[in-house]
A and B are shown apart, each in its own frame.
Chain A
Amino acid sequence: MAEIVIKTKNLDKSFGSGETEIHALRDVNLEIMRGDFAAIVGPSGSGKTTLLNILCGLDTVSSGEIQVSGRSLQSMSGSELAKFRREHIGLVFQAYNLIPVLTVLENIEYVMLLQNVPSAERKERVRKFLTEVGLEGKENRFPAELSGGQQQRVAIARAMVSHPDIILADEPTANLDSATGAQLLEMMRRFNEELNMTFVFSTHDPQIMERSKRMVTLTDGRIVSDELK
């Protein structure tokens, strides 16, 4: 039986209070298994990004429980959460969000440096992932010198290089043209299959929906369907 990587129970998240209170998530119960390639879909404002932020410990819940890799995120301090994200979760953002003053190599290396990974191993892993994402030879370029698709490849390499339990990607193809988006998606799908790496996307992109193994649909903060494909 597949290992559960993420488990939420009766998750609620609301913003504001009283008459202005907005329920972003209501009673969300979700289990993400190791090796999942899951898309969280739904219309704008349905709570996809909020859910993703909560799953990686960036945002807090109003009520309910959340466990990632067997650990409850609610009991962790800010520092513990940062270390936990560094070790267990890889994040890919819609706008790539690389550190502009660091080169491609340094961006990918950054998390491993925080993890105190030895230099030789760092270089080896960076080299491996640069090859995997097709950016060998561009390690000394700065993000501004790369195209959007190349920057997102770097962001994916940065998320994966520390061997996290799960990659959470918020609309990763939204800023890319469809051909580049398709390439990146294919690459992530390959990592999923070859490395058994778990991916969870929030997306509007039909390509992702089509290529995902599982699709969780959110409407008004509620899970209305959870389909295995």
Chain B
Amino acid sequence: MLWKLAWRNLWRNRMRTWLSALVIAIGLVALIFLDTMMVGMNTNMVKNATDSLMGHAQMHALGFRDEHEVNLTINNLDESLVQLREHPDLTFLSQRVLTQAMLSSSGGGEPVFTLGIDPAEEQLLSKFDEAIIEGEYLDSVSANKMILGWKVAEKLELVLGDRLVLTAVDAESSEMAQVLFRLSGIFKTGEEQMDGSMVLVPRQTLQKMLKLEGRIHQIALRYKNLTQEGIPLRPLTKPAESSGNELLLWTELMPSLYMITQMTDLSMAIMGIILFLIIALGVTNTLLMGLYERMFEFGIIKSIGTTPWQSARLMLYEAVCLGFLSIVVGLILAVFVIAIFAFYGIDYTGIEFSGVTFQEKIYPSFKWERLVIYPFLSMGFTLLAAVYPAFKLWYMLPIEALRKRKL
């Protein structure tokens, strides 16, 4: 009966009830929409980062990432490759040689970061082949061809077919080694660092130049079976320190990006709490208005035997009914709003954020548990909003309430 009474009381002032429900519903929509867009943005950023040069994980010799010392190549390479390839969730890997070098042309010189790759392997892992804007991608593991970022080409005023000299320190004698390359392609990834300083050459050519035959600096890996956050469900076991190698997930390779994805949850929680606290104050006001308007009636129900706890429950039930109504309205509105953005997306392409450039439109992405958590949160805050009016009702003396109108 108290539920029935609460529900019917709610509809005594339809306009006020709908307005209150809309306020809560809009808060819920805002929170769900922001959350899905943030999740979508994070997914987009992680995908952009891991679909390009980095991959989902990388193996190096210990210390290589700090010093980029040309001699620090992966230990027991063959054995490591066998172990990696045995893992069922590993889809692709790319073996790379990396070095800092000087690139010279008739137009001048430019320090560059050089990557020696197997074009076929790299094609499966990163998107350099798709990023070619002029010329063509590398086609051999041993030719003297080179592709580079469009900004490097611009700085050195290069055109396809130009001859370029790459100079770097070799691993054996620490002396300068030079090799002549011909420019076969120019790429544009949209990422400042890659477009402005990266050069890709066939791996064996670079190994020969650096006197690193059979040795590599890095293995980049891609997994299948990832969480929504882009973390492998079954990552490879990290090698023992005694092996001299390290295997790092993208979360360790790019901690700033990982931290942003983690902070999203925290910032959404803070935003949600602030938003719902503001809404709760509005709901408290609405319930208090209802309480004062119906003070005499509450006096009646208390005088005919409704206990203080039952009276307080009546107020809490009204809040639950309001919360339920708001959630239904909010979820319907949220589905509608998200459907629109899921169709059109938000275009941030080309914008760089935290070292990652958005390559695609951002689309809302659900975390299904949030569709339960946020409605619970809105119900919780609606109930919280009812605590003070319920408390007032609990302690309201029926005789005082009855004096609000002549009997």
Contact = CB atoms under 8 A, between A and B. Distances in A.
Interface string B1-38: 10011001100100000000000000000000000000
15 contacts: A58-B398, A59-B399, A78-B307, A82-B302, A85-B303, A86-B304, A91-B304, A93-B407, A94-B406, A101-B5, A101-B8, A101-B9, A102-B5, A102-B8, A110-B301
Contacts of B407: 49, 93-95, 97, 170-171
A34 interface: no
A-B residue pairs, 6 tightest by C-beta? A86-B305, A101-B8, A113-B1, A82-B307, A58-B399, A97-B300
Interface in B288-344: 297, 300-310
Nearest to B398: A58
A73 B150 CA distance: 92
Contacts of A97: 300, 407
B304 A111 contact: yes
A29 interface: no
Interface in A69-123: 78-79, 82-83, 85-87, 91, 93-95, 97, 99-102, 106, 109-111, 113-115
Given A58-B399, A102-B4, A111-B305, 14 more contacts: A82-B310, A85-B303, A85-B304, A85-B305, A91-B303, A91-B304, A95-B405, A95-B407, A100-B297, A101-B9, A106-B4, A110-B301, A114-B310, A171-B407
Interface in A17-58: 49, 53, 56, 58
B402 interface: yes
B301 A99 contact: yes
Contacts of B9: 101
Interface string B178-200: 00000000000000000000000
A196 B310 CA distance: 32
A153 interface: no
Contacts of A7: none
Interface of B: 1, 4-5, 8-9, 12, 297, 300-310, 397-399, 402, 405-407
Contacts of B398: 58
B314 to A, nearest CB: 11
Contacts of B297: 99-100
Contacts of A171: 407
A176 B9 CA distance: 28
Nearest to A87: B305
A82 B305 contact: yes
B363 to A, nearest CB: 46
Interface of A: 49, 53, 56, 58-59, 78-79, 82-83, 85-87, 91, 93-95, 97, 99-102, 106, 109-111, 113-115, 158, 170-171
A114 B308 contact: no
Nearest to B395: A78
B1 A79 contact: no
Given A58-B399, A94-B407, A101-B12, A79 B5 contact: no
Contacts of B302: 82
B306 A114 contact: yes
Contact of A58 (B8, B12, B303, B405): B303
A78 B308 CA distance: 7
A115 B306 CA distance: 10
Given A82-B307, A83-B307, A111-B305, A58 B402 contact: yes
A114 B310 CA distance: 9
A114 B305 contact: yes
Contacts of B307: 78-79, 82-83, 114
Contacts of B304: 85-86, 91, 110-111, 158
A173 B406 CA distance: 15
B232 to A, nearest CB: 58
Contacts of A53: 399
Nearest to B297: A99
B227 to A, nearest CB: 50
Q: Which of A49, A53, A171 has the most CB of B within 10 A?
A: A53
Nearest to A79: B307
B256 to A, nearest CB: 58
Nearest to A56: B303
A106 B399 contact: no
A7 B407 CA distance: 25
Contacts of A170: 407
A99 B296 CA distance: 10
Contact of B5 (A93, A95, A99, A115): A99
Contacts of A83: 305, 307
Contact of B300 (A78, A99, A109, A114): A99
A82 B314 CA distance: 15
